[in-house]
Amino acid sequence: MSSRTARERHDVNVAGDGPVTMVFAHGFGCDQRMWRLMAPTYAERFRTVSYDLVGSGRSDLAAYDRDKYASLQGHADDLIDIIRETADGPVMFVGHSVSAMIGLLAGIKAPELFAAHVMLGPSPCYINDGDYVGRFTRADIDSLLETLEGNYLGWSSTMAPAIMGAPDRPELGAELTNSFCRTDPDIAAHFARVTFLSDNREDLPQLHAPTLVLQCSEDLIAPLAVGEYLGRTLPNATVRIIDNVGHCPHLSAPCASIAAIDDFLASLEARSATS
């Protein structure tokens, strides 16, 4: 294991200022820059921390230990380290997709570190199982792994991705476009396997912190049935559905996402005021 600090391993970025720290964790596929349309809004009111999962973005790829990251618990332990290193009190945790489950595991292991969880497009299990509708079959996941492998050239870090150029988006720097969503193909395949074969349904009842499940109206990865299941099974959850097609509301519907989170935060304040 690398002797570097969690901050360095995960390219932790801290911004803003406020009494409470808000931690943003990205999902499978890309990196912390997914939060660029949302995190700055919160930096006005909170201290914001965003980071890359080991194996993604600009994290320390050498620290990707296949044994440690053979389950999501490895990433959950990293999250605990990051919070201990960067925050004083319990944090607002915002996790997208697989990171919602990483937050779940970390919140069960170290509940004192979490004030509340916001889960964007979460799914505790992607594969159908009896009555449970996860949306996918094992064959679908195998097909994904094949697609990842088949796109070897597109993934390879040695091949710089070609960018068409976005004349109407001058704010995107070259630095961003060159590494976003790109990582070591072998790590991507390993992480995909761990993510899409994970099953955290039995952990859900153990998370007692207030939780917002932010569900898109049409999301291939996390369908409505999964959101409903989470609402039923998490002890302290609010489910909000926002009008969005796709799995990345923080990119395609940032305003609706922020509004839903703000409502949740307000309800938390109201709750603490009355208690």
Residues with catalytic annotation?
97, 219, 247
Q: How far apart are CA 217 and CA 150, in angstroms?
A: 31
Strand partners, 92: 22, 116
117/250 with CB nearer another protein: 250
Overall residue count recorded for the chain in this entry:
275
Contact between 143 and another protein by CB under 8 A: the answer reads: yes
Strand partners, 27: none
Supply 4's token pair.
């570097």
Rg (CA), the chain: 18
Could you count the other beta carbons within 10 Å of the beta carbon of residue 267?
14
Using CB under 8 A as the binding rule, the residues of this chain from 13 to 32 that contact another protein are: 27-30
How far does CA 162 lie from the centroid of its chain?
A: 26
Closest distance of CB 28 from another protein, Å: 5
Contact between 148 and another protein by CB under 8 A: the answer reads: yes
Closest distance of CB 192 from another protein, Å: 8
Using CB under 8 A as the binding rule, the residues of this chain from 165 to 224 that contact another protein are: 165-166, 168-169, 172, 176-177, 180-181, 196, 218-221
Contact between 228 and another protein by CB under 8 A: the answer reads: no
52/77 with CB nearer another protein: 52
30/113 with CB nearer another protein: 30
Query: Among all chains, which residue has been given the structure tokens 């094949």?
Result: 146
Alpha carbons within 13 angstroms on the beta-carbon side of residue 203 total: 19
15/144 with CB nearer another protein: 144
Closest distance of CB 208 from another protein, Å: 30
1/153 with CB nearer another protein: 153
Supply 56's token pair.
């993604």
Using CB under 8 A as the binding rule, the residues of this chain from 107 to 136 that contact another protein are: 136
> How distant, in Å, are the alpha carbons of 129, 141, 188, 255 from that of 204?
16, 23, 26, 28
35/114 with CB nearer another protein: 35
Contact between 90 and another protein by CB under 8 A: the answer reads: no
Name the phi and psi angles at 48, rounded to 5: -110, 140
**Applying CB under 8 A, which of residues 18, 154, 205, 235 lies at the interface with another protein?**
154
**Applying CB under 8 A, which of residues 9, 33, 47, 240 lies at the interface with another protein?**
33
Alpha carbons within 13 angstroms on the beta-carbon side of residue 170 total: 0
Contact between 258 and another protein by CB under 8 A: the answer reads: no
Q: How far apart are CA 122 and CA 226, in angstroms?
A: 8
Greatest extent of the chain over all pairs of C-alpha atoms, in Å: 57
Q: List interacting residues with another protein (CB under 8 A).
A: 27-30, 33-34, 36, 97, 136, 139-154, 161-166, 168-169, 172, 176-177, 180-181, 196, 218-221, 245-248, 251-252
